[in-house]
């Protein structure tokens, strides 16, 4: 009786020790006598001690910060880049059986790919088309990691660091570009002003009194400041207009 009770107790203990829990966000890889048996789904699973073993794999999306990498662009500019890679495991058995440490493998693959891609593009492309560069890196890493049961969802370049000398060069280029635009804008304004003046000149030629009125308007604007001294050249046309008239009467009218 005692022997039977002892056997029952041992069996119960073995069963309790054999129950392994797999959470919803995990998958288990079961080995029997060292050989791959099957994949364990979430819930309670029986793993017999000594004869069987298992490994858990987290299948949630992981965000890995890739360390800063120094690379040389296609136009021989030294840059430093760092990125974040997002990936998840779609086949837990491959992640365990095909690669020793999938986290380390993905990180090293990302570093190598980043340096290679940066070396194939120019600095302008790297700065202005960062999304395209990220997509290239993501596609290459995803293709290479398929055999490991890993799906690379996205790669984001966090920062692109340039040498101080290159930053100064870029600043000078930007300043020169702004000066160029300012000169073009000023020239365009002068051309427009010249067109307007030419049009105004044609209109004044059609009306003999228009030029005189414009002259008087300009003199009126200048005379608003009492400190100005105005020397006005009387047009010949005005002299002809008052030819034969009583000058005194004209002056009196002007005074009035």
What pLDDT was estimated at residue 212? 64
Q: pLDDT value at position 254?
A: 46
**Helix and strand totals (H; E) in the chain:** 9, 8
Q: In this structure, are 77 and 141 located in the same domain?
A: yes
Q: Which has the higher per-residue pLDDT, 121 or 223?
A: 121
For residue 142, being part of any structural domain is answered with yes
Q: What is the model's pLDDT at position 232?
A: 63
Domain for residue 25, yes or no?
A: yes
pTM to 2 decimals? 0.64
Of 38, 58, 78, the residue that ends a domain is: 58
* Percent above pLDDT 70 for the chain: 80
* pLDDT at residue 252 tops 60: no
Residues 100 and 48 in one domain: no
216 lies in some domain = no
pLDDT over 90 percentage in the chain:
20
Does residue 30 register a pLDDT over 50? yes
DSSP string, 135-198: HHHHHHHHHHHGGGTEEEEEEEEEEEE--HHHHHHHHHHHHHHHHHHHHHHHHHHHHHHHHHHH
- The C-alpha angle with vertex 204 and arms to 199 and 205, in degrees rounded to 5, equals 100
pLDDT of residue 225: 65
The predicted structure's pLDDT at residue 89: 93
Same domain, 100 and 159: yes
Please give the mean pLDDT across all residues of the chain: 81
- Domain for residue 23, yes or no? yes
Q: Which of 49-58, 123-132, 159-168 has the lowest mean pLDDT?
A: 159-168
Are 48 and 98 within one domain? Answer: no
Q: How many domains does the chain have?
A: 2
Domain assignment present for residue 135? The answer is yes
| Domain extent at residue 22 | 2-58
pLDDT in tens, 138-190: 999 999 999 999 999 999 988 888 877 777 777 787 788 888 888 888 888 88
The CATH number given to whatever domain includes residue 104 is 3.30.479.30
């Amino acid at each position: 009786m005692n022997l039977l009770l002892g056997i029952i107790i041992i069996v119960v203990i073995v069963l309790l020790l054999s129950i392994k829990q797999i959470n919803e966000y995990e998958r288990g890889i079961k080995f029997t006598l060292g050989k791959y048996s099957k994949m364990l789904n979430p819930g309670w699973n029986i793993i017999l001690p000594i004869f069987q073993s298992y490994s858990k794999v987290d299948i949630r999306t992981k965000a890995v910060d890739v360390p800063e990498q120094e690379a040389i662009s296609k136009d021989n500019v030294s840059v430093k880049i760092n990125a974040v890679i997002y990936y998840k495991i779609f086949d837990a058995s491959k992640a365990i059986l095909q690669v020793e440490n999938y986290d380390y493998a993905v990180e090293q693959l990302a570093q190598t790919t980043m340096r290679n891609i940066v070396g194939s593009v120019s600095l302008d492309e790297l700065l202005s088309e960062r999304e395209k560069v990220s997509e290239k890196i993501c596609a290459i890493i995803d293709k290479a990691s398929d055999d490991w049961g890993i799906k690379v969802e996205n790669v984001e370049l966090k920062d692109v660091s340039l040498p101080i000398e290159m930053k100064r060069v870029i600043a000078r280029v930007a300043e020169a570009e702004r000066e160029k635009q300012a000169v073009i804008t000023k020239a365009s304004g002068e051309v427009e002003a010249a067109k307007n003046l030419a049009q105004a000149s044609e209109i004044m030629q059609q009306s003999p009194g228009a030029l005189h009125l414009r002259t008087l308007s300009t003199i009126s604007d200048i005379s608003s400041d009492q400190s100005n001294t105005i020397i006005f050249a009387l047009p010949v046309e005005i002299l002809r207009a008052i030819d034969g008239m009583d000058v005194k009467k004209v002056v009196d009218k002007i005074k009035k």
